[in-house]
Structures are given as structure tokens and as C-alpha cells.
Structure 1
Amino acid sequence: MYLEKEVALAGGVEAGVSARLDRLPPTRYFRGLVARIAIGGWFEFYEMFMAAYISLGLIHSGLYRATTSSMFDVNGFASFLGSFFAGMFVGTVALGGFTDRLGRRAVFTAAMLVYSVATLAAAFQTSPVAMDAWRFVAGIGIGVQLITVDTYISELTPNHTRGRYSAFSILVILTSVPTVAVLSYLLVPYTALGLEGWRWVMIIGAGGAVLIWFVRRGLPESPRWLESQGRFAEARAIVDDIEQHVVAETGQRLAAPVPVPDMPRDGINDAPAAWRDMWRGRYLPRTIMLSCFNFFQTFGVYGFGAWVPVLLFTKGITLTHSLLYTMVIAFTTPLGAIGAMLFAERVQRKWQLVGCAIVVAVAGVLFGMAREPLPILLCGAAVTIANNWLIGIFHTYQAELYPTRFRARAVGFVFSWSRLSSIFVGFWVAALLKHSGVPAVFVLISSAMLVIVVMVGALGPRTNGVRLEELSQ
């Protein structure tokens, strides 16, 4: 009876669900939900950043070369990167709509299984073509999973802590980077049970297929998605359960939900209308800004992250020391997510993105010129922290700029630009590395970061503390 009155106070079922969620306090229960969803992302980032740490193993085994003889040369390491990001492009732009049609929870599970099985198969391949094929399949699964995780978390958490919880999820996820760095440092130079070390790193990354069955148990479907599908009773039942957990933990009666005036219903999904809406009214500048942002952010995140060992090795640093420096730099990865979590609700997210891009641009150029261990480590750490601070913020930012009825589809579209550029970034980096050296690589990265500064600064809206429904009015 109490819950029914709350719904009536909020002015209808939809307003009731959003208002009831948004007035809930931060609790261990929410952190637990976010952490469990983030475990799916943990294996995704392990897979994405794994490429950097096993790169020298792949090259020294003879499977790939460090540079390419021509564009899309399958024998170059850039092909290993490009095939994966091509799969992510397909997953985000072509299959992202499945998350809006089938639900966050179901797609979260299916995508994790797809990329885990594909990664396990890739670990046993002996030719570049076969390896690239399985990396493509793994990329499809991860492309779908990434937008599902962002959407899922943004819809389950209250508006006043949305950025903090999203940044917390990135903190959990980014612990995968030092993990894969340590594993690669310990395993890549050696062979065990007849398998090269880099293969063992990939096999370990396939472990998500086992954990998913434990992670998914007890995870609720997004109530906002359920009501967008007209499944109001299920949406209310899930919010009832969430409220019961919060009350049991805090021991306090919940405040009455604040009505949301003149809030339009998301309604039942309409795919053609959703696509048109991305290019109308307030969504047009958001779509343009996020598409440009995603296209250029990969220059810093993956143009640097996926090539650190190779860039160091090209400078004349030995294989062992390249892996050691890379591992040390990797341990600063969570610091970016911690910064994002601490400042998520204190500083406008758009300006945090601008600041991170500036740091990457400046520290990246200095890294390209550095020759001694200390400046290499300091500049590499600065780029890594800024890149991952940016990741911790933009995953929240892009998910909150579209309405529930087509959030996953829109996020998938704008995010697909990052996957498209990632296909080419590896080849551009390889070509610059071959003909112009390491400094030229960072001129490319810095130029891309300046585009982000201009686009986000000019077109990015303010979102901190604003309800998802208000942002989509």
C-alpha cells in the first residue's frame, strides 16, 4: 500500500519508478549491484588492454610483425588490433539495439559468453588470419557488452550518485589492467605445458564464461527499461525489492519521492522513431559531439595503451625492461578511476573530459621525447591516469544524454565511432612508427585530444545531479 501511494505521488507509474529510485541514499547494496555488473566489464577491459601486454610475445613468436608493409597487412600487429576493433564496431553499431529490445540483463549475459568463448578459441590459433577471425568475434561480444554495462548502471542508480557509481564501476573494471600487466610480465617471456606465455594470458581472460553464471544471479532487470516496454508491474516489483534492501540496510524510513512535473513517457520502443530522434532537437548537437569525441578519444586511450611496450621497444629498450616499465605504468591505471569517482559529482563531467584530454596531449608529447627511465615512467603514468579518468567519466556522460527508449541504441551508435577509428589507429601508429619515429605518434595523439577539447567544451551539456528524464526532455 505504501509503495502504491508513492507511485501516485510521483504522478504515474513511470514518474513513480524514476522518482522512487532517484530519492534513494547511497548504500552497500547499490555498490554491490554496480560491482557485479562491473565484473562483466572487468573481463572486457582485460581483453582490450591485453593486446598491449602480449604484443611483444606475439611479435617474438613470429605470429605478427611490429610494423606493416601496407594498409591492412594481416601479418602486422596492427591487424591483431584492427580485427578486434572491427568486431567491436559491428557489435556497437549493428547489435546495440538488442539491448533496447531484449533487456539489459539478458544481453549482458549473452555478450559475456560470446567474447569469452571466442577468446579461448583465439588462444590456440597459429596463423594471423585465424587469430584475427576469432578476435573479430570476441570484439562483437565486447562491443555489445560495453554499451550494455554503461546503460545498465546509469538506469539502476539514483541521479545524485549516478556519476560516482559509474566511476566506481570503472575503478573495479580497471583493476584488470594491472592484473593483465603482471600476468604478462610473469608469463609472456616463458613457455608452460607446451604453450607460449601469451596464450596463457588469453586463456585466463576467457574465465568470464565461468563467472557469469554466478554474477548474473540476483541481478535485477532495469526497471526503467521494463516500463519503457510497458511492463509496469515488473518495474514496480523490482523497485519494491530495491527499496526493501535499502531500508533493511539503513534502518530508516524512506523519504517520499519528489514528483517529476511534465515528464514525458518513454513509451514502447519504436526503432525508426528512435533513430530519427537522435538527429532532432537537443539530441543533434549531442550526437555530433559524442561521435567526434568517441572517434578521437581512441587515439589517446588505445593509440597509447595498446602500443606502450612496442613504443618503448622501438626506443631501444630491451624486451624485459619494456614489459617492466609497462607493468609499472599499468599500476597507475586505477588512480584515474579513483580521481573520476572522487570528483564525479563535484566538477561538471564535461570539464573533467576537457581537462583529461589536455593532460594526455601534453604528457604524451613529453613521453615521446623521453629517454631516461624516470621521465618515461612519470609521463607514461600521467597519460595513463588521464586516459582512465576520461574513461571513468565519459561512460557515465554519454549514457545520460539520451532517453531510456533508445539509450542503448544511441550510445551504441556514438560509441561505434570509437571502434571505427580504433581499426585505423593501429595502422596509422605502425606507419608513423616506421617512417617518423615515436615522437610523431604523439603528435597524432595530441592533435586528436585538442579536437576533444573543442567539441566537448563547445557542445557538451552540463549533467551533474540532473535526472535522466530531465536530460531527455
Structure 2
Amino acid sequence: MYMGTEIAGSTHVEASVSARLDRLPPTRYFRGLVARIAVGGWFEFYEMFMAAYISLGLIHSGLYRATTAGLFDVNGFASFLGSFFAGMFVGTVALGGITDRFGRRVVFTFAMLTYSVASFIAAFQHSAPGMDAWRFVAGVGIGMQLITVDTYISELTPRDARGRYTAFSILVILTSVPVVAVISYVLVPRTFLGMEGWRWVMIIGAAGAVCIWFIRHGLPESPRWLESKGRVSEARQIVDEIERKVVAETGKPLAEPPESPDASQLQARGAWIEMWQGRYFKRTVMLSLFNFCQTFGVYGFGAWVPVLLYSKGITITHSLLYTMVIAITTPLGAIGAMACAERFQRKWQLVGCAIVVAVAGVMFGQVRDPVPILLFGSAVTIANNWLIGIFHTYQAELYPTRIRARAVGFVFSWSRVSSIFVGFWVAALLKHYGVPAVFLLISSAMVVIVVAVGVWGPKTNGVRLEELSQ
């Protein structure tokens, strides 16, 4: 184990915690740590993708309509989606900075409790405005949580496995999608104890509040964040414990850490304006465009699959069945991302996924038979979730620790902006031009991603976070 102490007769400069973490080998300890953080994200994605699978239940109950009478019609299903994403926008922009201020672990816990309680209360609402209000609160909590999870994992894991660990976390998280699809398929068409099935789906999602105390126990604070705040002693104690566990697992001594960056730079106070200066300017523009457009594929498709199928003339039962089958392929995207995260440049994986979504999406909009519906729907789903598995790593590694959560929150907020409107745009296109027009919109957004990331996206694989941010 590395021991940074003064040696008699000479002064030994202690390496930064970042340098010490980055030279650690991949271990079961890190996988367990990442998995526990990912469990918090599991409930986030359950909440986000749940909307698609309970959509027909909400519409059939009369709480919402499939289409909208006008922009921001609270009685349309797009309002259910829009209120949630509006909350996420507030959570990522207005409150994203609190993660940099109060720490990753504290905000991780607070955010999870917030959206779990709000979702539980939402399950008992009987009016569209009441439902929208509590979905907004749940969105605020999830907006904070999403950027916290990305930042947390990127700062706790070694550089050579950073992408693989983040993709692994996405794999764990995305298992929530087929789970909520199956639960919805079973519960939505039925009534239990006098309550409609879709309400039970929401109640199950609120179970995150029960799990939170088990998840947070033993989770360390990010030592990189502590070091950036000048709390060096605390940071070193955490890294000492991590190193002890790694050595105990591997049975091998650790290599000496590389030369550390200047301590004053590590502890510099971050400012919002930094993301618009120097090398960060292009990154901020590129990631803002990427995030604004990626939701067209992820949520423009994912949140509307049952409704799109129903609009093709497919029955409610078969729409839910096809959606469930397509949802089962969701983890395949994360598996692909995990397998390739460190093998191929992450920027080119994002470009490739966007191309697949564009092409397969157009084909999905044209077909009506079960086999091609499942084939192209699965292709879009796998590519969308491969993209998710990569971009959560990619955007978190492009900014320095002092502003990471704040900057990621800002660029990620553009996905919440587009998510607020994409539901209304999809509803309008569906009403006036049909399903093919929806996928023309999605494919156009994917072209923007291909150009923005292909031209302005830097290469990041295997590079230390501190080197990327210099």
C-alpha cells in the first residue's frame, strides 16, 4: 500500500488522491461499490421509463388523452411527461450545483428520498393537475440524482476502467426497464384492492425510499471531491481504506502513483463561467446539442412505444405485449457499452448508435407486422441504451472535479428542455401526420448528434480525468 509520509532526512511529497485512485486495478470491490450506487439509479430509470408502460392505463382510465388540444394541454398524456421533465430540468440546472457544494453522497441520499416519496404520493392522485404537480417534484429529485450518480462513479473509479464501470452501472440500472415493462403488462389491465393497476406500478417504484438506508451505508464520499474542497485528510483516509481493500483482494502490492498535479490547482474554486472558456467552450456546445437531441430517440421512442403501436391499429393487449418484448432487449445495449467502453473511442460509439437509431427508427415507423416491429423496435432500443451507457461516462469526464457536477448538470439540462417539448411535438405529429412523421423527427435529431460529436467530441479513453481537464 502507498504510504505518503515524511521520511527521516527528506521530505516526501504525498501523491494526490486522484493519482492514487487512477493506478488501482479493477477489482470486485469496485464492482460492488458501483453496483450499490447503480441501485439508486435503478429506481430513477424505473420512474423515467414507467411512463411508457402505464401510458395506456392512464389514458384508458380517463385521466389523460393520447393527443393534446394545444400546447401544454394538461389533460393530454404529453402533460404527464412534460411535468416530469420540467422537474428534471429544475433538478439539473437550479439544483445541480448543490452536488459540487455538499458532496456526492449527501445529495445521492437526499435526491433518492425526494423522488421516492413524491412518486408514492402521485400514485394516489385523481386529477391531471395533481398528478402533474407530484410528477414535477419527482422529476426534481431524479434530475439531481442523475448527475450525481454519473459524477460519483467517474470520481471513485480508476481511469483505465472508468468507462467499463459506468457502463456496468448502466447495465444494472437498465434492468429496471424490462422489470417495469413486465410488471405493467401484468398489472395495468387489472384492478387490485379497488385500485387500478397503473397505480400499483407507481407504488412499487416508490420502494426506493425503503432501500435508501441499506444502499447508503458504507458508501464513501468521493475523495476527489473532498480533495478539491481542501479536506485532504478525509480524502486520504478514504483512499487508504480503498487501497487496503484492493490489496486484501488482489494479494499484491500497489505500484507507486504517478506524479501529482499541483495541489493548488486541485483545490481551486470552480466557477460556472469556466465551462464557457478555453477548451471547455466547444465541449459545452457539443454536449448541449447532444443532450438536446438524444432525448428524441431515448424518450421520443421509449416513452411512446405503446401509444405509437396503438396508433397503428394494434390492440391495447398486443401493444403492451410488443412493448414488453422490446423492453427485454434493453440491457443488451448496456452489455454492448460495457464490452466496448474501453476498446473503442467513446465518441465514435455515440456516433454509431445515433446512426442506428435514425435508420431503424424510420423502418419501425413504416412496418405493421409483428416480426419487423419487434426487430426494428429492438434495434432502436438497443442502440438508445448503448448510447446511454457511453454518454454518461463521456460527459462526466470532460470537466474538472471542481465544476463537474455543475457543468454536467447544465449540459444535461438541455435534454430536460427538449424532453418537456418532445412529448407535445410527438403528440402533434401523431395526430396530424401519423407514426412515420414521428420517426422523421427522431432521425433528424440523430443527424445533429452525428455531426456535433463527430466534429467537436474529444477522445477520452484511458486518459486521466485531471489530464482531460487541463
TM range (shorter): over 0.9
Contact kept? 1:84, 1:132, Cα under 8 Å: yes
Structure 1 residue 266, shift from structure 2 partner: 2.6
1:238-289 per-position Cα deviation (integer Å, ceiling 9, x unaligned): 000000010111111111112246686231434xxx2111100000000000
Match of 1:352 in 2: 349
Contact kept? 2:16, 2:261, Cα under 8 Å: no
Between the aligned partners of 1:394 and 1:230, the Cα distance in structure 2 is: 30
- Kindly indicate whether residue 291 of structure 2 is the aligned counterpart of residue 294 of structure 1: yes
1:341-386 per-position Cα deviation (integer Å, ceiling 9, x unaligned): 0000000000000000000000000000011000000000000000
Question: Cα gap change, 1:147/1:11 in structure 2, threshold over 3 Å: closer, same or farther?
Answer: farther
Between the aligned partners of 2:30 and 2:269, the Cα distance in structure 1 is: 27
Q: What code does the residue aligned with 1:330 have?
A: A
Residues 52-451 of structure 1 mapped to structure 2, 5 A cutoff = 52-260=52-260, 265-270=265-270, 274-451=271-448
1:418-453 per-position Cα deviation (integer Å, ceiling 9, x unaligned): 000000000000000000000000000000000000
Question: Cα gap change, 1:306/1:11 in structure 2, threshold over 3 Å: closer, same or farther?
Answer: farther
Contact kept? 2:5, 2:12, Cα under 8 Å: no
Between the aligned partners of 1:11 and 1:84, the Cα distance in structure 2 is: 53
What SS does the corresponding residue of 2:265 show, helix, strand or coil? coil
Q: What code does the residue aligned with 1:459 have?
A: W
Structure 1 residue 2, shift from structure 2 partner: 4.6
Between the aligned partners of 2:19 and 2:124, the Cα distance in structure 1 is: 50
Match of 2:459 in 1: 462
Question: Cα gap change, 1:231/1:85 in structure 2, threshold over 3 Å: closer, same or farther?
Answer: same
What SS does the corresponding residue of 1:3 show, helix, strand or coil? coil
Q: What code does the residue aligned with 1:47 have?
A: E
Between the aligned partners of 1:179 and 1:454, the Cα distance in structure 2 is: 35
Question: Cα gap change, 1:443/1:191 in structure 2, threshold over 3 Å: closer, same or farther?
Answer: same
Q: What code does the residue aligned with 1:191 have?
A: T
Contact kept? 1:89, 1:143, Cα under 8 Å: yes
What SS does the corresponding residue of 1:4 show, helix, strand or coil? coil
1:204-227 per-position Cα deviation (integer Å, ceiling 9, x unaligned): 000000000000000000000001
Gaps of 5+ in 1: none
Between the aligned partners of 2:434 and 2:6, the Cα distance in structure 1 is: 63
Q: What code does the residue aligned with 1:119 have?
A: S
What SS does the corresponding residue of 2:266 show, helix, strand or coil? coil
What SS does the corresponding residue of 1:71 show, helix, strand or coil? coil
Question: Cα gap change, 1:2/1:419 in structure 2, threshold over 3 Å: closer, same or farther?
Answer: closer
Q: TM-score, normalised by structure 1?
A: 0.97
Between the aligned partners of 1:187 and 1:375, the Cα distance in structure 2 is: 27
1:71-95 per-position Cα deviation (integer Å, ceiling 9, x unaligned): 0000000000000000000000000
Contact kept? 1:226, 1:234, Cα under 8 Å: yes
Q: What code does the residue aligned with 2:71 have?
A: M
Contact kept? 2:4, 2:13, Cα under 8 Å: no
Structure 1 residue 16, shift from structure 2 partner: 2.3
What SS does the corresponding residue of 2:318 show, helix, strand or coil? helix
Between the aligned partners of 2:330 and 2:133, the Cα distance in structure 1 is: 29
Contact kept? 2:115, 2:137, Cα under 8 Å: yes
1:386-438 per-position Cα deviation (integer Å, ceiling 9, x unaligned): 00000000000000000000100000000000000000000000000000000
Question: Cα gap change, 1:409/1:375 in structure 2, threshold over 3 Å: closer, same or farther?
Answer: same
Contact kept? 1:336, 1:385, Cα under 8 Å: yes
Q: How many aligned residue pairs are there?
A: 469
Question: Cα gap change, 1:372/1:185 in structure 2, threshold over 3 Å: closer, same or farther?
Answer: same
Contact kept? 2:96, 2:405, Cα under 8 Å: yes
The RMSD of aligned alpha carbons is: 1.7
Between the aligned partners of 2:6 and 2:216, the Cα distance in structure 1 is: 29
Match of 1:29 in 2: 29
What SS does the corresponding residue of 2:253 show, helix, strand or coil? coil
Contact kept? 1:101, 1:269, Cα under 8 Å: no
- Kindly indicate whether residue 18 of structure 2 is the aligned counterpart of residue 18 of structure 1: yes
Question: Cα gap change, 1:346/1:6 in structure 2, threshold over 3 Å: closer, same or farther?
Answer: farther
What SS does the corresponding residue of 1:440 show, helix, strand or coil? helix
1:144-178 per-position Cα deviation (integer Å, ceiling 9, x unaligned): 00000000000000000000000000000000000
Q: What code does the residue aligned with 1:63 have?
A: L
Structure 1 residue 12, shift from structure 2 partner: 5.0
Between the aligned partners of 1:220 and 1:321, the Cα distance in structure 2 is: 46
Q: TM-score, normalised by structure 2?
A: 0.98
Between the aligned partners of 2:266 and 2:2, the Cα distance in structure 1 is: 25
Structure 1 residue 104, shift from structure 2 partner: 0.1
Question: Cα gap change, 1:255/1:129 in structure 2, threshold over 3 Å: closer, same or farther?
Answer: same
Between the aligned partners of 1:10 and 1:307, the Cα distance in structure 2 is: 63
Q: What code does the residue aligned with 2:223 have?
A: P
What SS does the corresponding residue of 2:385 show, helix, strand or coil? helix
1:89-138 per-position Cα deviation (integer Å, ceiling 9, x unaligned): 00000000000000000000000000000000000000000000000000
Structure 1 residue 11, shift from structure 2 partner: 8.2
Contact kept? 1:84, 1:136, Cα under 8 Å: yes
Gaps of 5+ in 2: none
Between the aligned partners of 1:10 and 1:314, the Cα distance in structure 2 is: 73
